[in-house]
Each structure stands twice: as structure tokens, then as C-alpha cells.
Amino acid sequence: MSEATVGGYLIWQLYPKYRIYMDLDMTSYFSDEDFYWADNVFFNPEVLRKFMAAYRPSFFIVPLHNKLFAQTLRAWPSYKAVFFDDVAVR
């Protein structure tokens, strides 16, 4: 799971080995619910809990400025930071 703004790049680099949740260049393929998940999963702990139950994503790419998400994700200790740069944590 990543912010939808980087979906196209991730599809280009990672698909088909990894499924990417959303690409904003292909908006006609997504429902209002998909947009709700994408807009809220990184900022609302309850939405994250429901998203995890529904999708069980294998990875997250999170902007460095999002400290709330890092704290919230601690509820799932199997997720670990494996890489970071000046933009995001993966």
C-alpha cells in the first residue's frame, strides 16, 4: 500500500510480482470506496485497522512526514521498516 500518487510508478516497477492498490492515472477503475481507503488509510487508525483486515497488504510506502502512521502501525509488529530515503519509508 502506498499513497495513490505513486501508484503508476510502482506498477511500472513492481507489477506483477506485487499488486499495487491504486494508480491515480487510472481512476475509472476505482470505486468511491477505493478512494475512501486510499485517502484515509494513512491518517485514520480505524480505517487502517479495517483495511488491514480486508486486504492484508504485504508492504507500505509511507511519506516520512507521517509520524501518526508509524505509531499506529506498531499494532502490527510484523511490519518493519526495510528502507528509507529523504522522501519515504518502505
Question: Is it the case that residue 44 has pLDDT exceeding 90?
Answer: yes
- The torsion of the CA quartet 23, 37, 14, 77, rounded to 10 degrees, works out to 160
**Rounded CA separation 89/16 (Å):** 22
The pTM for the full model equals 0.73
| 44 φ/ψ sector (left φ>0, alpha ψ -120 to 50, else beta) | beta
pLDDT at 85 over 90: no
Higher confidence at residue 52 or residue 28?
52
Instruction: Tell me how far apart the alpha carbons of residues 35 and 12 are, in angstroms, rounded to a whole number.
Output: 21
Indicate the pLDDT class of residue 59, thresholds 50, 70 and 90: confident
pLDDT tens digits, one per residue of 15-24: 788 877 666 6
